Amino acid sequence: MINEEIKKRLVLALDVEELDEAKKLVDELSPYIGTFKVGLQLFCGYGLEIVNYIKEKNADFFLDVKLHDIPNTVEKASYNVIKNGANFFNVHATGGIEMMKAAKKGAMQAAEKYNRKKPLVLAVTVLTSINQETLTNELSNSKNVEDFVIQLAKNAKLAGLDGVVASARELKAIKKELGNDFIVLTPGIRPSWSAKDDQARIATPKSAIEDGADYIVLGRAITKAENKIEAIKKIYEEIQGVNK
């Protein structure tokens, strides 16, 4: 029996080269995964073909496009993202409050027009690839990274966005500052039995959920596992019983 409460929290990153590989993952894993995340790699390669495939399986679809442009352009792009079937997507909080408001406006308009469920618009605060040195020296920002993340998350909430993408390290602080209803989607998830790969700020599925993550992004821990279904089942077992 699939636990629907757990299923809904699991987001699988379809970070693969070929459309066929992505389709195979969707075929195999859609009984266990609530949302499939399509990033720029797959989207720029194959566009809406994969979207339609995901929709046919009745799974949710997260378009990880990290929009960042002038408000008018972002509003129109957001409209099209929802029109074309995404349930949620993201924008860069560094695009500013007006831009984030425009994203939400475009998304809501499309949802209403096409009778879609309420879209979730998330903000990316500071990319995990940006460290303190880059922020200070390259981007001339004197704030420390953690404070900047919180400030951008506050801006996202002010703009009416639904939540943020944040690493496990920032999870507790964001929930504390922004409240429990403000959604946090957490990548960098590594069960204790899987390889760390190139991720620096990692957490196990259990600790991320315990610390308040609403969604956890599973990538290579599943897609590179010898037995993907067994790997997911282990994650289900691990999360089961966490009170949230």
Interacting residue ranges for ligand C5P, rule: CB under 6 A = 13, 15, 39, 127-128, 165, 167, 187-189, 197, 199, 217, 219-221
Residue type, 206: K
Backbone dihedral angles phi then psi of residue 131, each to the nearest 5 degrees: -100, 180
Give the contacts of 105 (CB within 8 A, at least 6 positions apart).
75, 78
Q: Give 35's strand partners.
A: 11, 60
Q: Which of 66, 76, 83, 143 is catalytic?
A: 66
- Judge whether 11 and 36 are in contact, CB under 8 Å: yes
The least CB distance from residue 15 to ligand C5P, in Å, is 5
66 is catalytic: yes
- Judge whether 184 and 149 are in contact, CB under 8 Å: no
The least CB distance from residue 122 to ligand C5P, in Å, is 10
DSSP letter (8 states) at residue 67: E
Residue 128 or 204 with smaller CB distance to ligand C5P: 128
HSE at residue 18, side-chain half, CA atoms within 13 A, is 3
Tokens representing residue 222 in the block: 């599943």
Distance CA 215, CA 185 (A): 5
Residue 209 or 221 with smaller CB distance to ligand C5P: 221
Residue 13 or 156 with smaller CB distance to ligand C5P: 13
The least CB distance from residue 74 to ligand C5P, in Å, is 19
Distance CA 172, CA 210 (A): 10
Residue nearest to ligand C5P (CB): 219
Residue 70 or 195 with smaller CB distance to ligand C5P: 195
The least CB distance from residue 126 to ligand C5P, in Å, is 9
Kindly list the catalytic residues: 66
